[in-house]
Structure 1
Amino acid sequence: MAVFNPDDFKITKSFQLKDFPTELDNDLKDKAKEILLDEVQKPLSEWQDVMYAHNRYGVLICLQGMDTSGKDSLIREVFKEFNPRGVLVHSFKTPNSTELEHDYLWRHYLALPEKGKFAVFNRTHYENVLVTRVHPEYILNENLPGIEKVEDITPQFWENRFEQINNFEKHITQNGTIILKFFFYMSKEEQRKRLLRRLEEAEHHWKFSPGDLKERERWDDYMNYYEEAINKTSKPNAPWFIIPADDKEMARYMVGKIIWEEMQKYTDVKEPELDEKVKANFAEFKKQLEG
């Protein structure tokens, strides 16, 4: 069995991405990794059922990573045992005209999970300190006071955004939302192979976009901004985990296992007790139904 310590991938202090692997060293076959994932899928889905009955928490799973890092397939595999009503997936794309009429966190508030449910953000509010760092001209679309041109976007602007995101996450965790954030850390070489596969295999052609190659040219910038964002926003109430993503099957197992272990910390999540007066009349209720 593959053994890894989730705490080794949890960011609790200042770190550098270069100190993390993009693939775990293991000799497991893909089928064995799938079996390991199966072992956490069912109990995790059962835990969500209990959480739904408990009705005190919602769970927000945040997934970030470069194009082709495996986020979509991971969502499909990790959550496939869930009651479909118990997990909602939101893929955030370029803000539309309505969303741009509000602050950048507005659309994320609207997508937060209800109590008893999981929400998965496939790309998240962190795009606002990642893509917009690489392409600061996008900020101009927000029509912010005092920001007329790119040169108006100072280092303090980004510090303010990190503070706003931390406050946003602090607010929702204090009101019952459990947050787990995962960065899919893949190598540039692995991304090259996956992009080539999209070009070479007809069934994957639809996934390819020339824009992926343009963003790939800014790889080092993205890695620097990911490292900074994670360092400034991994908090005890909303931790980041670095997931080696070159091996998709292992990455899926790691995320499933981490979610399961983190959920076990919430020992107050239990099915509610039925009212004693109702329980005392079970025999009468049964008699009515049988009659």
Structure 2
Amino acid sequence: MGKKSKLLADELKPFVSPFRIDGSEQFHLKSLKTNEKGGIDKAAGEEIIEANRRRLNDFQEKLYAQDRWSLLLIFQGMDAAGKDSAIKSVFEGVNPQGCEVTSFKEPSSKELDHDFMWRSMIALPERGRIGIFNRSYYEECLVVRVHSEILAKQKIPPRLVTKNIWRERFEDISAIERYLSRNGIVVLKFFLNVSRQEQRARFLERLEERSKNWKFSMADINERALWPRYMAAYQDMIRHTATRAAPWHVVPADHKWFARVVIGSTIVSALEKLDLHFPKVDESERSEFKRVREALLAEGKGGAGKKAKAGNRAK
């Protein structure tokens, strides 16, 4: 790591390391604060967010040009945790041609005729691109686990639906993420950890502001009633699928601006480690470029001369 890289890593470390879960230590969701602000105020946070946008834009161009690595970003969280707005904010100004957001809703009949990872695998980012999953295959260990009736619709042979099915899914997901990382796909996972009190406040805001009414759904209230079961499912899921190849980042999400600081800093730090650069042009190509340049310059001079002659004739 060069001097410049080290400075960047040191600068962003306080907003990355405390929230990174890679399976090396015991994980307890209840011990993590949802209202953490990292010792900074909102004004300082906004400056970091903007600086990270500039860095991300630069890295994205090099990622695309180099065409070796790709980035898969997974966003999970309870309703109103701020996933949509975080994605919009962090990637503001980034070339949309190099990014693609996929939102996973209730599976279609076609998707249910495949294994639970199928629809995610066909949406993986190509080399040089950033793929963003707004919800993901992890819903299979969250919503499906909380609502056992959904599992019955997946047409899995009954003898395969055992008491170990969640542990088996954790193993399968971790194996696939390890495979992806070995093929140049950097996997970063974000759980936006919002408190139940803050979710309540955001639901009330959606009800009270007409411009936000469209965001509200009675289904969200029904899921809110199952909060303890969801938190237990998240705890188990993160504990069993956090690895060094595909770490989880448990993002304090009560303050949206700080969540964006953590997410942007994590992405920029990961890209910094890839040693991204624009492809070098060999000498033979440079010589060709020189000849083309000279021809274009000569063409311009010729065009100017023709215009001058045409002007003289007009006089």
Q: TM-score range by the shorter chain?
A: over 0.9
Q: How many residues align?
A: 286
SS in 2 for 1:4: helix
Residue in structure 1 matching 2:287, options 264, 271, 280: 280
Residue in structure 2 matching 1:117, options 125, 129, 135: 129
Residue in structure 2 matching 1:159, options 167, 182, 188: 167
1:84 aligns with 2:92: no
- The aligned residue for residue 199 of structure 2 is 191
- CA offsets per residue over residues 107-161 of structure 1, 9 Å max, x none? 00111001111011000110000111100110111101126xxxx8433111111
Residue in structure 1 matching 2:50, options 27, 33, 38: 38
- The aligned residue for residue 209 of structure 1 is 217
Partners of 1:2 and 1:28 within 8 A in 2: no
* Distance apart, 1:25 and its partner CA: 4.1
CA distance in 1, matches of 2:207, 2:49: 30
- CA offsets per residue over residues 14-36 of structure 1, 9 Å max, x none? 21011111011467553432222
Partners of 2:15 and 2:262 within 8 A in 1: no
Distance 1:5 1:256, change over 3 A: closer
Amino acid at match of 1:52: Y
Once superposed, what is the RMSD of the aligned Cα atoms?
1.7
SS in 2 for 1:116: coil
Amino acid at match of 1:184: L
1:101 aligns with 2:139: no
CA distance in 2, matches of 1:85, 1:113: 12
Segment drifting more, 66-75 vs 153-162 = 153-162
Partners of 1:2 and 1:26 within 8 A in 2: no
Unaligned runs of 5+ in 2: 1-10, 300-315
Amino acid at match of 2:277: K
SS in 2 for 1:182: strand
Partners of 1:90 and 1:111 within 8 A in 2: yes
CA distance in 1, matches of 2:118, 2:260: 30
Q: Give TM-score scaled by structure 1 length.
A: 0.94
Q: Give TM-score scaled by structure 2 length.
A: 0.87
* Distance apart, 1:282 and its partner CA: 3.1
1:251 aligns with 2:259: yes
SS in 2 for 1:120: strand
- The aligned residue for residue 8 of structure 2 is none
SS in 2 for 1:270: coil
State the identity %: 38
- The aligned residue for residue 131 of structure 1 is 143
Distance 1:84 1:21, change over 3 A: same
SS in 2 for 1:88: strand
SS in 1 for 2:153: helix
SS in 1 for 2:236: helix
CA distance in 1, matches of 2:209, 2:43: 23
* Distance apart, 1:4 and its partner CA: 2.4
Amino acid at match of 1:97: S
